[in-house]
Amino acid sequence: MAKKGASISGFPEWLPQERAIEQQVIDTLREVFELHGFLGIETAAVEMGSSLLKKGETSKEIYLLSRLREFGQDDETPVEEHLGLHFDLTVPLSRYVVENSGAVTFPFKRWQIQKVWRGERPQEGRYREFTQADIDIVGNGSLPEHYEVDAPLVMVEALERLRPFGLPKATVHANNRKLSEGFYRGVGVTDIESVLREVDKLDKISAAEVAQLLQDEAGCSPEQAAACLELAEVTATDSSHLRAAFDQLCEKHGIDKESEAYPLAQQGVETLAMIIDEAARIRPGSVMADLRIARGLDYYTGSVYETFLDGAEKLGSICSGGRYDNLVSQGSRKYPGVGLSIGVTRLISYILHTVQATTSRISPAAVMVAVWNEDERQTSDHIAAQLRQRGIACDVAPTAAKIGKQIKYADHLGIPYVWFPPQAGDPAAEVKPTGHQVKNIISGDQVDADPASWTPAPEYARRAVVVK
């Protein structure tokens, strides 16, 4: 990342070769999303404060907007009436769906890759400005449960396509909020949202610290806190193990099958069992049940997901999401949805700094056309235009310097080929070819070429990712 004295921490500015990696990652994600029929949209960077605060994570530090002339003036306008930068892409989607419900086809499958802004404390992998890549499937009135399998598997496929960038295997850890809520109610817990928020911290702090927070913040007794943490320890890769482990915990803590709480929990168990069994059938080893997954956002109502890279657990979740039934509504009409989001900037940081991936060349150009002298620049420009019309990315030498300097310039940018135009008029100091020639400055090969038909070798046609 570029280091600048005037830059603001938490707002990454990639160097050109780093930006090339980011762009290739984004292109790969978009390609996978569209292979699965998702439609691309873009929403405004700003939303009303009331939209950003409604049913979202109000603990986020939202960046508000104001005009310069208002700076420093006392402003008693409520946050809800200010404009603010969006901190995720799901809350803006809820507004978008309502406003365009008559124009989109349901289920509405959308992908969206945009920047978002959060008042985070900048650190490795966490930024104030970063890019997210989201997919969501939104229904009109109802949404079949099979989408709760489809959505995470699309993200697994997308992350699998990024393995050449040096990413390890990705595994989705799934839970269901109904399972957790039913169990919590069964042991006598009443402040469900607080428990979910505290359990969600298990990846950041110790179980003992979470147990204390459950007592201090959620009003749990020591016994209730212990039961909540026991539930969080359950993992399973098949439905029979999940059901057996859950029933054992219910029996241990006196949650009777005839109780009011059990049917809700059982509904969550069955949905989660369906997800891990179907995922195992379609893409074995991609999804596992992990009952510590809680997701702190309060709009999730069913399945919740966190995705981890094998061997890179310290990085934390790089893709998360879940099912929401009540976030999007218009009068009595509800638009239930399920979606996941990849933290693209966090991935890029990992790829650049941990994997140390780079590009085979800085410039996207495969060819640089040399210029013998400035009077002949039009000839070089014409050759470049011919190549570009055929889809071959190329550049033209910035000056008619010595050919050695022009080749050195191309080499600095990683451009593999230098094109030599034919001789025009009396030879100057340079020795010019009598016809078109192209030189591969990596292999040293130089051959005759025709700009109307020549193509670069496949390995040099486009930039590639290089993993050290």
Q: What is the pLDDT of residues 133-169, one digit of tens each?
A: 999 999 999 999 999 999 999 999 999 999 999 999 9
Full 3-state SS string of 249-274: HHHHCCCCCCCCHHHHHHHHHHHHHH
Q: Which residues contact 332 (CB under 8 A, 6 or more apart)?
A: none
| Confidence grade of residue 426 (pLDDT, cut at 50, 70, 90) | very low
Residues in the annotated binding site: 88-90, 118, 132, 136, 295, 299-300
Output the pLDDT for position 81: 76
Rg (CA), the chain: 28
Q: What is the pLDDT of residues 122-143, one digit of tens each?
A: 776 678 999 999 999 999 999 9
Residues in the annotated binding site for L-histidine: 88-90, 118, 132, 136, 295, 299-300
Tell me how far apart the alpha carbons of residues 143 and 97 are, in angstroms, rounded to a whole number. Answer: 14
CB 347 within 8 A of CB 113: no
Output the pLDDT for position 152: 98
> Chain centroid to CA 19: how far?
15
Q: What is the pLDDT of residues 76-118, one digit of tens each?
A: 677 777 888 998 999 899 999 999 999 999 999 999 999 999 8
Structural domains present in the chain: 16-358 (3.30.930.10), 367-467 (3.40.50.800)
Average pLDDT of the chain to the nearest whole number = 91
Q: Which residues contact 23 (CB under 8 A, 6 or more apart)?
A: none
